[in-house]
Amino acid sequence: MIELRLSGSPGEVRIALLEDDTLVDVALWRPGAPDGWGNIYDVRVKTVVPSLDGAFIQTDQGADGFLTSRKKITEGSLLCAQLIRCAQNGKGARFKPIARPASLPPATEPRLLQCGPSALEELVERAPHAPIIVDDMTVAAALPAALKSRVQRVPKSFDTVLEGEWDALMQPSASLGPFIAHFSPTPALTAIDLDSASHPDFATNVACFPELLRHIRLRNLSGTLLIDPAGVRSRKRPALVPFLKKAVEQEKDPLQPRVTGVTPSGLLELTRPRRRPPLHELMRSPHGQGLAILRQIIRDNLPGQTLHAPPEIVHALEEDPDALSECVRTRCQPLALHVAPPSSSCCWNLS
């Protein structure tokens, strides 16, 4: 059985796609702070960079990005472009030029023409007939009208097991049977070290590939991924490639990762297209930390009406007034934000 389970908190809905009680995919839906993936804009060309086959552009919101195009581009001109990679891993957003809809009037300034699918809509599309299970009618009311007929209400949409699985995705390591996979994201690539306290062999590495690929998908790790197998000599590692390719095919990841082979140092290499930010970035960003604080305030029914937090968290919450309003409505009392001085003991408190 395939089902979608939604758990809401101020400013955020956690989404879990399960198949026969196995967690297959996850997403974060933040209505007050959409990531913009798939959006179509009229953008202004700021600086053409021929050596990079493109140009730096600006959207209606003043945000910068890079537009890839081998065609001649004029600085100061307006173009129609689609956001194909959100800003992530310390790198800016990436755009591609597209044909402007003929029904629209000529462009006169940068502006948003059409929103792309939200993280919710994208995940729902992968399970078009699955029931949408919620435990909060506020979440159900926020869903697009086309999805409301699929809603089923339960006392608790995320049980203890699912909460534990979600929390585990926030950790830099994951259990893969006899292995522990250590994930180390960098701006250029993600290194994955397979470690084991036992004596792993070739077959044990092969057996862990399906679970490893499931975690890559759940965490939305993308770009270049380098995997360091455990207990297999470098000269034998190329023989692992066909088994990794087979595991990729069986995983049926919608982003279709591609195994490129083995590096000279013996690391297995695969690439996965970058689209939305990875899960760890969403959760550890100032906005993600701020929403986690609001979720804890509601969950633990913490007393107090002033949230003292670092400036970057306060500013991120100020940029998402919908999340603050939802927190106030749920608690039935006001919540003021105050920039707290740096502290080594705790990053925030409520008074």
Q: For 72-95, what is the mean pLDDT?
A: 94
Q: Are residues 13 and 151 in the same domain?
A: yes
Q: Are residues 96 and 72 in the same domain?
A: yes
Residue type (1 letter), 348:
W
pLDDT at 267: 98
Q: Are residues 122 and 19 in the same domain?
A: yes
pLDDT at 345: 58
pLDDT at 89: 87
Beta bridge partners of 343: none
Residues 258-313: tens digit of each pLDDT? 999 999 999 999 999 999 999 999 999 999 999 999 999 999 999 999 999 999 99
- Give a yes or no: residue 164 inside a domain: no
Q: Are residues 110 and 127 in the same domain?
A: no
Cα 95-288-8 angle, rounded to 5 deg:
105
Name which of 244, 6, 17, 221 is nearest 133 in CA terms: 6
Is the pLDDT at 344 greater than 60? The verdict is no
> Structurally, how many domains does the chain consist of?
4
Q: Which domain holds residue 319?
A: 285-350
Residues 210-243: tens digit of each pLDDT? 999 999 999 999 999 999 999 999 999 999 999 9
Q: Are residues 107 and 178 in the same domain?
A: no
Q: Tell me the angle at which helices 241-251 and 202-219 cross, rounded to the nearest 10 degrees.
A: 40
Residues 45-66: tens digit of each pLDDT? 999 999 999 999 999 877 789 9
Q: Are residues 25 and 78 in the same domain?
A: no
pTM: 0.92
pLDDT at 310: 93
Q: Are residues 58 and 204 in the same domain?
A: no
Q: What is the CATH number of the domain that holds 228?
A: 3.40.630
Q: Are residues 293 and 335 in the same domain?
A: yes
* Residues above pLDDT 70, as percent of the chain: 99
pLDDT at 107: 87
* Residues above pLDDT 90, as percent of the chain: 87
Q: Are residues 203 and 306 in the same domain?
A: no
Calpha distance 176→172 (Å, rounded): 13
pLDDT at 62: 72
